[in-house]
């Protein structure tokens, strides 16, 4: 059974007010999913399916796909904007957490499987 990679990340909900609010973020990637989709769950329990490539691109330059926009915020954070019928939410995620997670997903995708190596 292919592994599922999970990571907890630190994020802040950006609001119209002067203060931001810390929000837990769970990142989940199923290596069996050929679409390379990352499931991102913010504190509210809402699960967003986001392309792994989109998250990686957003670390370097603004990118958008569907209802998700991402862009770098300095060298240490990524901004994620999520649009739905209910409105827009904007989160600021620490790059270190996201980069570690993405690195793990690519490492696992390149790892030889038992079938390929002939080992159980």
- What digits encode the pLDDT tens for the residues 67-96? 999 999 999 999 999 999 988 999 999 999
Domain 4-111 indexed as CATH 2.30.31.20: yes
Provide the pLDDT for residue 66: 96
**What ranges do the domains of the chain cover?**
4-111
For residue 93, with 0-12 CB atoms within 10 Å meaning exposed, 13-18 middle and 19 or more buried, which class applies?
Answer: buried
Provide the pLDDT for residue 49: 95
Provide the pLDDT for residue 111: 66
Dihedral of the CA atoms 72, 7, 56, 77 (nearest 10)?
Answer: 10
User: What does the DSSP 8-state code read for residue 88?
Assistant: E
User: What does the DSSP 8-state code read for residue 31?
Assistant: T
């Amino acid at each position: 059974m292919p592994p599922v990679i999970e990571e907890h990340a630190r994020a802040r909900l950006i609001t119209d007010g002067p203060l931001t609010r810390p929000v837990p973020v769970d990142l989940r990637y199923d290596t069996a999913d050929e679409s390379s989709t990352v499931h991102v769950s913010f504190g509210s329990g809402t699960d967003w399916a986001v392309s792994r490539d989109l998250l990686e691109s957003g670390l370097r330059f603004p990118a958008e796909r569907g209802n998700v926009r991402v862009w770098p915020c300095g060298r240490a954070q990524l901004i994620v904007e999520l649009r739905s019928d209910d409105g827009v939410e904007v989160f600021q995620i620490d790059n270190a957490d996201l980069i570690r997670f993405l690195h793990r997903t690519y490492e696992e995708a390149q790892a030889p499987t038992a079938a390929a190596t002939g080992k159980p």
